Chains A and B, each alone.
Chain A
Amino acid sequence: MAMEITAVAQKLLLQLVSSAFQRCRLSEDLCRLSVLLDQSTATDPPITSISIADTGIGCILEQFQDLRCPRDFNGAKIWDGLLSVKTTCFTDDEVYFYHINLDEYISNKRLKRQPSQSKNGVKFSGTEVSLSVFGSMDVLVAPILGFFQKILVLHIPNVTMDLMVKQGASPGTQTQYFFAVNAEKTPCFTASNLERLKFGLEDYVLRHENCLATMCDHCFSEREHLKVGNGTICHEDKHKRVGGTVEVVIVISDLLETTQHCSRSCDGKTKVLYFDNFSPSPVPHFVLSALKKMDWKSYGLILANVNDQDGHVFLEWENFPSFVQIEIALHWYHNQHATRQKNGPGINLVKKGIKNALDDLKAKHEGFLLSSHARKICSYVPDLARSIAGLIFSSTDLDFQGDCLSVLGFQPQEVEREAVEDCIQRKIVTVIGMNERKPQKDQEAAPFLFFDGNSETSYFEEEEVEGEYYSTSLE
């Protein structure tokens, strides 16, 4: 019972925090989002006061129309149903104060205006939402932290978030968590959404889901060693004239061997994060379907299982190499400011987005994510390279040698055979990877105009050979 109560309270809380975040995001200034959880120890069951304050654009009261949260649940009281909202827009002269009764279905009775406060000419905007719930705040901390950790993946640079957890008045019982985008290394202010998603997911991975302040040394060596692919695909819905974009980022990390000592390392499972219009969201069904229907095989991956636990999705692979980890983030958003659109991107769009990201990975890294077919072909690469290098180096025609070497980008004087062989190997692998990506249409053989009769190989074909086989010994 207690879990069910908390689930309801969590949901409401996350909705409020998410709205606050959106208000900050839409503001073009640097904003702060602060969440305060204050549990009073005096009462039993304890009451937790929650306050969500942001300095974003002022809120629109329609946002609260859709909020629903029952006051009680199966007889147990959750809260008193009252939201206290203070909000002001930049151009407003006053800070408006409202009590919103979420229990009330009659709309004009929901909202009760309270006396406003004058801003005395100071220009600012922001919102503060307060409520109290019955119950311990312990169960509320984790979802909020989770929300902040995930929202950092979007790498929105102008929002700083913090969570303050208090239990009573003394400072000893206070904990504060800060979340901000590290804008030093990454050019996020001018970056596109996709670039931000990329940086954000990289950080998320390196810091173990943003639980750590910096990159985990046990697991990762350098940010640059991550293999990242991104794909984006737009959707134009002609009927509703609302377009949307799906962005996908895939990060593949090669873990260090010391990852075994790290308590947070995953076990080869791939976490899938989904964002719906700049807010973390449980992975919807159509995305699950898209993940299941993706042609992973042509990238050398075999999907064993898709685990869906309350919207948290993990992909499990067959024969997955150890010390490798894959994380996927998907973001779907509308192109225009459409707040109430319910239409999603659809399975095909999501699949295309994932495919674009995988292709991007393949293109950036030769010989990576090759299908098993291509890997079989790659097994010939060392031999092929050796023969080609042999043909170059064993030729007595030095001009020819020099010519070939310069075509490969080497200076004839300072050249080592091994280096040339390596170079040729890499080029062949690139070609094999490229062959995989090219569309199939130019590979179809022309249909036979004449019947191409089966030529049965005579069993004598061997005889010719064996005739010589014996004779060689006579020489």
Chain B
Amino acid sequence: MEGKISSSEDTNLLQRIKEFTRSVVEDLAEGRSPKISINRFRNYCMNPESDCFCSSDKPKGQDILTLKREPQTYRIDMLLRVMLIFQQLLQENRHASKRDIYYMHPSAFKAQSVVDRAIGDICILFQCSRYNLNVVSVGNGLVMGWLKFREAGRKFDCLNSLNTAFPVPVLVEEVEDIVSLAEYILVVEKETVFQRLANDMFCKMNRCIVITVSTAVDLFFLISVLTSFAFLSSNFFGKGMIVFWQGRGYPDVSTRRFLRLLIEKLQLPVHCLVDCDPYGFEILATYRFGSMQMAYDIESLRAPDMKWLGAFPSDSEIYNVPKQCLLPLTEEDKKRTEALLLRCYLKRELPQWRLELETMLERGVKFEIEALSVHSLSFLSEVYIPSKIRRDLNSP
């Protein structure tokens, strides 16, 4: 994956940082206010007129930061702080995660989102990707199936043990020698589903690659840091003290990049299996259309032809999901769904997705993928997924 600058151009970025610094210093020395212009990117809008140009990757406007406004000054302040860190990282050829950077000055940054925004600003300013600045994304993706590749010299031979989960590499740029005999790629929202498929030897029967994002969290870490989350699923798997976090399948950057890489190299169709609820849909949308936060780097992060395999609201009837598995949509769910429906890309590109979403809203119920397995444990692996994929292959 190229990104926008090849990683051998570290010196180029150092040069850019120096040029930027020089121009700010010059402005100040000559009594001028520095002006930092940062392109604005977005991957969707809520404009009902549908004459937006969100589908284009071009910037949609510019923010010009000066010292005239307090919020802008704050943004410049954070940007400079982070840029200083990047200069040091690049010079010393060290890497750091976004979280590491936050912890360098937690009282100044106050929140991770501030760091993320600053990193985004610098990436847009220098038209590079995060890894060019030696920011490592900590990934928690998992992959299994008909795939072989190398990452920084290490061999990943998923083909050899088809139902074993391999971690998705973090330095996706260093992935090479991808070899695959798969017919399609399946992305599943939750690790529980992934494990289900592994247990059912799904990849033995189906020539595919399965990807998910790990939802496992170390319990000690959890207890030591957080106290305020409401959902705790008690699926202990006996693998030491690991708790599965209900509903946390949001794709991290590495996983999305890896998926994109596979798509580019292998040209395979991609299917996505998510829960039938607004959260699941959002995950699907993020895979397909990218996230707003990383809108500036969208090309390397989205899967433009990803198909929504399920679960659809209509599936609950077709596959006889029992009534007790159909949970009512909360007020929050309804608001989220309404907001999702306003996104321009749904109107423009995927009316059939819209339809399903509207149905969900109308019916006022949601259900998880696991609900499809109520009648038979391996229903998902043996019936649901294969039949849907066949149907999709056969449809025009």
Interchain CB contact under 8 A, B70 and A377: yes
Q: Answer yes or no: A392 CB below 8 A from chain B CBs.
A: yes
Task: Please give the distance in Å from B99's CB to the nearest CB on chain A.
Answer: 5
A430 near B31 with CB under 8 A, answer yes
Q: How far is the CA of A471 from the CA of B222 in the complex (A)?
A: 11
A residues less than 8 Å from B61 (CB atoms)? 452
In chain A, positions 79-124 with a C-beta closer than 8 Å to chain B are: none
Give the residues in chain B near A392, CB-CB below 8 Å: 21, 25
Residue of A whose beta carbon sits closest to that of B214 = A471
Question: CB of A403 within 8 A of chain B?
Answer: yes
Q: Which residues of B contact A464 (CB under 8 A)?
A: 250, 252-253, 291, 293-294
CB of B385 within 8 Å of the partner chain: no
Also in contact, A467 and B250, with CB within 8 A (given A392-B25, A427-B29): yes
Residue of A390, A404, A451, A471 near B25 (CB, 8 A) is A404
Q: When the two chains form their complex, are residues B46 and A456 in contact, meaning their CB atoms are under 8 A apart?
A: yes
> Would B22 and A400 count as touching, CB distance under 8 A?
yes
B residues 41-76 with Cβ under 8 Å of A? Answer: 42, 44-47, 49, 51-53, 60-61, 66-70, 73-74, 76
Determine, out of A186-194, A280-288, A318-326, A380-388, the stretch whose residues face the partner at the interface: A380-388
Chain A: minimal CB distance from B65 (Å): 12
Residue A396 at the chain B interface, CB threshold 8 Å: yes
Complex: how many Å from CA A451 to CA B52? 8
Q: How far is the CB of B76 from chain A (nearest CB, A)?
A: 7
Q: Chain A nearest CB: distance from B338 CB in Å?
A: 11
Nearest-Cβ distance from residue B277 to partner chain A, whole angstroms: 13
Taken together as a complex, chains A and B put the C-alpha atoms of A395 and B108 apart, in Å, by 22
Are B137's CB and A384's CB within 8 A? no
Complexed CA–CA distance, A376 and B70 (Å): 7
For window 236-278 of B, CB contacts with A under 8 Å fall at 248, 250, 252-253
Known: A387-B77, A468-B137. A407 touches B67 (CB 8 A): no
Q: Provided the pairs A387-B80, A395-B87, A456-B339 are in contact, do residues A468 and B25 lie with their beta carbons within 8 angstroms?
A: no
A4 at the interface (CB under 8 A from B): no
**Selected contact of B46 from candidates A400, A404, A455, CB within 8 Å:** A455
A residues near B87, Cβ cutoff 8 Å? 391, 394-395
| With contact pairs A407-B29, A427-B29, A462-B113 given, residues A391 and B67 touching in the complex (Cβ less than 8 Å) | no
Question: Nearest Cβ in chain B — how far from A421, in angstroms?
Answer: 12
**In the assembled complex, B213 has its CB within 8 A of some CB on chain A:** yes
Q: Report yes or no: B97 in contact with A472, Cβ–Cβ below 8 A.
A: yes
A467: chain B residues within 8 A (beta carbon):
140, 213, 248, 250, 252
Q: A434 near B73 (CB under 8 angstroms)?
A: no
Q: Is B218 in contact with A465, judged by CB distance below 8 angstroms? A: no
Q: What are the residues of chain B within 8 A of A431 when measuring CB–CB? A: 28, 31-34, 67
Q: Does A1 contact B (CB under 8 A)?
A: no
Closest to B92 in A: A396
Which residues of A lie under 8 Å from residue B252 when comparing CB positions? 464, 467-468, 471
B286 at the interface (CB under 8 A from A): yes
In the bound complex, residues from chain B placing their C-beta under 8 Å from that of A434 are: 31, 33
B22 touches A403 (CB 8 A): yes
Decide if A171 is an interface residue (CB 8 Å cutoff): no
Q: Are B84 and A427 in contact (CB under 8 A)?
A: no
Closest chain B residue to A452, Cβ basis: B61
Asked whether, in the complex, the Cβ of A473 is within 8 Å of the Cβ of B221, the reply is yes
Q: Which of A377, A424, A457 has the most CB of B within 10 A?
A: A377
Would B33 and A380 count as touching, CB distance under 8 A? no
Instruction: Kindly list chain A residues whose C-beta atoms are within 8 Å of the C-beta of B29.
Output: 407-409, 427
A residues 158-202 near B (Cβ < 8 Å) are none
CB closest chain-B residue, reference A424: B28
- Judged by a CB distance under 8 angstroms, whether B18 is at the interface is yes
A454 in the interface, Cβ–Cβ < 8 Å? yes
CB 8 Å contact bits of B1-38 with A (1 = contact, 0 = none): 00000000000001001100110111011011110000
A457-475 Cβ-contact flags toward B at 8 Å (1 or 0) = 1111111111111111111
B150 at the A interface (CB under 8 A): no
**A428 within 8 Å of B (CB atoms):** yes
Q: In the complex, how many angstroms separate the beta carbon of B344 from the nearest chain A beta carbon?
A: 7
Give the residues in chain A near B21, CB-CB below 8 Å.
388, 391-392, 395, 400, 404
- Docked Cα-Cα span, A455 to B61, in Å, equals 13
Contacts of B91 in A (CB 8 A): 394-396
Min CB distance A54 to B, Å, is 51
Residues in A neighbouring B293, C-beta threshold 8 A: 461, 464
Contacts of B32 in A (CB 8 A): 431
Query: Which residues in chain A, 346-367, are within 8 Å of chain B measured between CB atoms?
Result: none
> Using Cβ atoms and an 8 Å threshold, which residues of chain B touch A462?
113
Q: Does B174 contact A (CB under 8 A)?
A: no
Identity of the chain A residue whose Cβ is nearest the Cβ of B45 in the assembled complex: A453
Tell me whether B307 is interfacial, beta carbon within 8 Å: no
A303 on the B face (CB < 8 A): no
Question: Chain B's nearest CB lies how many Å from the CB of A408?
Answer: 5
In the complex, A450 Cα to B40 Cα: how many Å? Answer: 14
**Which of B67, B80, B83, B222 is packed against the most chain A CB atoms within 10 Å?**
B67
Known: A391-B84, A472-B138. A465 touches B44 (CB 8 A): no
* Min CB–CB distance B138 → chain A (angstroms): 4
A473 with B218: CB separation less than 8 A: yes
Min distance, Cβ A168 to any Cβ of chain B, angstroms:
68
Q: Does B139 contact A (CB under 8 A)?
A: yes
Chain B 103-141 per-residue mask, 1 if CB under 8 angstroms from chain A, else 0: 000001000110010000000000000000000011110
The 6 closest A-B pairs by CB, nearest first: A453-B45, A387-B80, A463-B250, A453-B47, A473-B221, A427-B28
Can you list 7 contacts pairing A with B, beta carbon distance less than 8 Å? A376-B70, A383-B77, A390-B84, A391-B83, A403-B22, A468-B99, A472-B97
A residues adjacent to B (C-beta < 8 A): 373, 376-377, 380, 383-384, 387-388, 390-392, 394-397, 400, 403-404, 407-409, 424, 427-428, 430-432, 434-435, 443, 450-475
Measured CB to CB, the residues of B under 8 A from A are: 14, 17-18, 21-22, 24-26, 28-29, 31-34, 42, 44-47, 49, 51-53, 60-61, 66-70, 73-74, 76-77, 80-81, 83-84, 87-88, 91, 97-100, 108, 112-113, 116, 137-140, 213, 217-218, 221-222, 248, 250, 252-253, 282-283, 286, 291-294, 336, 339, 342, 344
Given contacts A462-B113, A468-B97, 14 further A-B contacts (CB under 8 A): A395-B91, A400-B21, A400-B22, A431-B28, A451-B47, A451-B51, A453-B47, A453-B52, A455-B292, A463-B250, A464-B253, A464-B293, A464-B294, A467-B213
